[in-house]
Amino acid sequence: MAAPVSLCHVACCANRAGGGVVSWGRGGLLAFGSCHDVVLYDPAARRTAAALRGHAGRVNCVRWVRRRDRVSETELISGGSDKQLILWEWNGTGTWNNQPVKSTPLKGHTEAVCAVDVVCQSDEPALNLLIASAASDSTVRIWSWHGSEAKCIEILQFGNGFVMDVCLSFLPGSNVPVLACGGDDCKISLFIQQNGQNKNSGGEPIQTLTNQNSSCNGISKVDGIRGWYNPEERKGEKEFLTSIETDRIPRVRVGEVGGNTLGFFDCQFSPDGSMIIAHAFHGALHLWKQATVNKKEWTPEVVISGHFNSVEDVKWDPEGEFIISVGSDQTTRLFAPWKRNEETEVTWHEIARPQVHGYDMRCLAMVGRFQFVSGADEKVLRVFRAPKNFIENFSNITGMPMEKLCSQQSSDLPEGATVPALGLSNKAVFEGDMAVQQSEDEESFNKISNQYPEIYFQPVILTGPVFTCCAYTDKNTAIHSRIIWSCDWTPDSKYFITGSRDKKVIIWGQCDLSVTTEGNMLDSIKPCSTVLDAKDSVTAVSISRVLTPDGRYIVAVGLENGKIILYTWKQSGQEPALADWTTRVEITNSELSEESAIEEPPLNLLEGCPLQFGLEKLLQIPPARS
């Protein structure tokens, strides 16, 4: 029986695009824009429900479509830098990740969409929506959606100004829509719809709200409109509007003291008011939950995390139990499974950030179970190894025994690491070291030997011809016609695979070992496979460390359009044959096709999205069943 491919983890964070990029639905799902995707995350289950891909640019704003009967939402709308809106519709059965989601684009803006809001105008089963969107083209467009048809019914011009946020509601006791637009001119403009059009639609609102600040700065800038207070939820109270301004100081705070110096873009309550989600400047999400006994106490919770810029390289550890990634956000991150005694399901999380650098990270290589080498734009390679206290914490989180983790580790592991004053890197701390060391003067820390101790960064001195060229291709013998973006070795080191922008995948090696003699190695290395046409530029190739039961190599090919295709390959004769390749799985747009099944051993796949997205996905193929 074929084993289905499943998505077991997504590592990502919210875009740095203001407060409108995150929206919490009544059904408990948190929707946020992450690069070109709209990610749906379940904070209660600590899992990603779906990743919706349709935008060609960064997603800047997301809103759930809240119906008047207060049921869980089945539609949401998003806007992006690709100048369009997308309305996502789900059939309401099952879960988002295994059901088809319909997407409908709304095009009309000439610049990036930065804010959106939507209201239902009736309780009918068929959608009857009023949508307001603001863009960098200094306009606010009003859209009408009825049934399955959408059209722009009005355009509000704001001259040379920009609208930072929009919010729709209804006048109390009526079905008359009212629109609030918060702009960079320190004003909130109100519009009311009459006879299908907004009153004074030539750009003049019916009323303008300003806030006179007591400080010398005058009127504060309106960064966002939090929303209309719904009087239906609390009878006897009037409807009012709340907004976000840059000079407001909160009376109650949650967060890390001294951290997040760049602040938060936005925060939201969960539908039941028991949790708070905050969106930090760099895209990280922070979650706090209200204590059940002491209602004034809020404790931090585990939430999804990942790189906030492009993922440049990812690697499994030698045992295949955790992964490390580097990105152009200048960080190195470690992801591992979290095993809890009270829960049977294992979830993956970011558990460490071994390196926070001053340059964009570019490459990574594992040189041991808890050792890696990383390279950055500064053209320097750095070697890191984990101290003993990290391995102990890793054991507690993953449930792996210390004896197994330290079986291959040397006995001279440091207990921990500290950053010395004016230092640029960690310094090892061994058992017996003094807790408080005598401080050295500033001049001594200017020496590179003190900033990068040899215990962590040991120089490699090459003497003599360590490497020799055994094979190469030139303009006359080359098969690839464009840049080679990725390559990998088979686990037995017999074959070498390359993937190129020319859409070709080729496996190289000593195809006929019987004619190989010492001295003619260069002539014996040649293509052992036919040219595999991937139909799109190949950005990543990887060969599984596990072979199929009949000895075939499992090859994963990542394409520029976001697809991942799994092939199997085995040399059948002296000459390459097209039949040596077989296609087993095709994964596209974060959803699995109907043929997404494979009769293979257990396998973990890591999908990195270099140069385009800050998104990592971990896919799993469970053992085949008889």
Q: Does 489 reside within a domain? A: yes
Per-residue pLDDT tens digits for 188-217: 888 887 765 555 444 456 555 555 443 322
Closest residue by Cα to residue 298 from 250, 343, 341, 249: 250
Q: Does 151 reside within a domain? A: yes
Say which residue, 230 or 471, is predicted with more confidence: 471
| Whether pLDDT at 100 is above 90 | no
Measured CA to CA, the distance from residue 6 to residue 594 in angstroms comes to 12
E-strand spans in 357-483?
Answer: 361-368, 371-376, 381-385, 416-418, 427-429
| Whether pLDDT at 52 is above 80 | yes
Rounded to 10 degrees, what is the CA torsion of 419, 420, 422, 426? -40
Measured CA to CA, the distance from residue 226 to residue 287 in angstroms comes to 19
| Whether pLDDT at 591 is above 60 | no
Confidence (pLDDT) at 416? 80
3-state SS record for 567-619 = EEECCCCCCCCHHHEEEEEEEECCEECCCCEECCCCEEEEEECCCCCCCEEEE
Q: Does 235 reside within a domain? A: yes
Measured CA to CA, the distance from residue 606 to residue 564 in angstroms comes to 10
Per-residue pLDDT tens digits for 488-500: 999 898 999 999 9
16: confidence class by pLDDT, cuts 50, 70, 90: confident
Q: Which two tokens stand for residue 608?
A: 């990195």
Closest residue by Cα to residue 304 from 44, 16, 587, 622: 44
The values of phi and psi at residue 388, to 5°, are -65, -40
Confidence (pLDDT) at 190? 87
Q: What pTM value is reported for the model? A: 0.77
Measured CA to CA, the distance from residue 307 to residue 364 in angstroms comes to 15
Measured CA to CA, the distance from residue 117 to residue 124 in angstroms comes to 20
The values of phi and psi at residue 448, to 5°, are -65, -30
Alpha helix (H) ranges present in 399-532? 402-405, 448-451, 521-524
Report, as an integer, the average pLDDT of 385-389: 86
Report, as an integer, the average pLDDT of 507-524: 67
What DSSP state is assigned to residue 328?
T
Measured CA to CA, the distance from residue 438 to residue 441 in angstroms comes to 10
Q: Does 108 reside within a domain? A: yes
- The answer to whether the CB of 565 falls within 8 A of the CB of 596 is no
| Whether pLDDT at 468 is above 60 | yes
Number of domains in the chain: 2
- The answer to whether the CB of 333 falls within 8 A of the CB of 352 is yes
Report, as an integer, the average pLDDT of 89-115: 81
Q: Euclidean distance between the first and final Cα of the chain, in Å?
A: 6
Per-residue pLDDT tens digits for 516-538: 555 556 667 889 999 999 999 99
Structural domain that includes position 145: 52-251
| Whether pLDDT at 65 is above 80 | yes
44: confidence class by pLDDT, cuts 50, 70, 90: confident
Closest residue by Cα to residue 266 from 544, 18, 608, 589: 18
Say which residue, 7 or 104, is predicted with more confidence: 104
Say which residue, 69 or 621, is predicted with more confidence: 69
Amino acid, res. 518:
E
Percent of the chain having pLDDT more than 70?
73
- The answer to whether the CB of 601 falls within 8 A of the CB of 546 is yes
Burial of residue 174 (CB within 10 Å: 0-12, 13-18, 19+) is exposed
| Whether pLDDT at 433 is above 70 | no
Closest residue by Cα to residue 191 from 153, 246, 149: 153
Confidence (pLDDT) at 135? 94
Amino acid, res. 417:
A
The CATH number for 243's domain is 2.130.10.10
464: confidence class by pLDDT, cuts 50, 70, 90: low
Per-residue pLDDT tens digits for 215-269: 322 233 344 454 544 444 444 444 545 555 555 565 567 876 655 567 788 888 8
Report, as an integer, the average pLDDT of 418-424: 68
Confidence (pLDDT) at 520? 59
Q: Does 432 reside within a domain? A: no
What DSSP state is assigned to residue 1?
-
Longest dimension (CA), the chain: 93
Lowest mean pLDDT segment, chosen from 105-114, 163-172, 345-354, 588-597: 588-597
The values of phi and psi at residue 499, to 5°, are -130, 140
Q: Does 279 reside within a domain? A: no
| Whether pLDDT at 407 is above 70 | no
Other beta carbons within 10 Å of 345? 11
Q: Which residues sit opposite 202 in a β-bridge?
A: none
Confidence (pLDDT) at 406? 75
- The answer to whether the CB of 132 falls within 8 A of the CB of 140 is yes
- The answer to whether the CB of 44 falls within 8 A of the CB of 141 is no
Angle at 305 between CA 25 and CA 252, to 5 degrees: 65
Residue ending a domain, choose from 251, 269, 303:
251
How far, CA to CA in Å, does 566 sit from each of 3, 91, 552, 571? 14, 30, 12, 17
Per-residue pLDDT tens digits for 132-168: 999 999 999 999 988 778 889 999 998 888 888 898 9
Other beta carbons within 10 Å of 523? 11
Listed in sequence order, the residues at least 6 apart from 345 whose beta carbon sits closer than 8 Å to its beta carbon are none
Measured CA to CA, the distance from residue 308 to residue 53 in angstroms comes to 17
Q: Does 449 reside within a domain? A: no
User: Where do we find the tokens 């077989």?
Assistant: 582
Q: Does 243 reside within a domain? A: yes
Per-residue pLDDT tens digits for 287-299: 999 888 888 888 8
Amino acid, res. 454:
E
Mean pLDDT for the chain? 77
Confidence (pLDDT) at 197? 57
| Whether pLDDT at 501 is above 50 | yes
Lowest mean pLDDT segment, chosen from 233-247, 312-326, 425-439: 233-247
Measured CA to CA, the distance from residue 57 to residue 107 in angstroms comes to 14
Confidence (pLDDT) at 385? 86
Contacts 24+ apart (CB under 8 A), 465-472: 470/521, 470/522, 470/525, 471/508, 471/521, 471/522, 471/525, 472/522
Confidence (pLDDT) at 452? 38
Length of the chain: 626
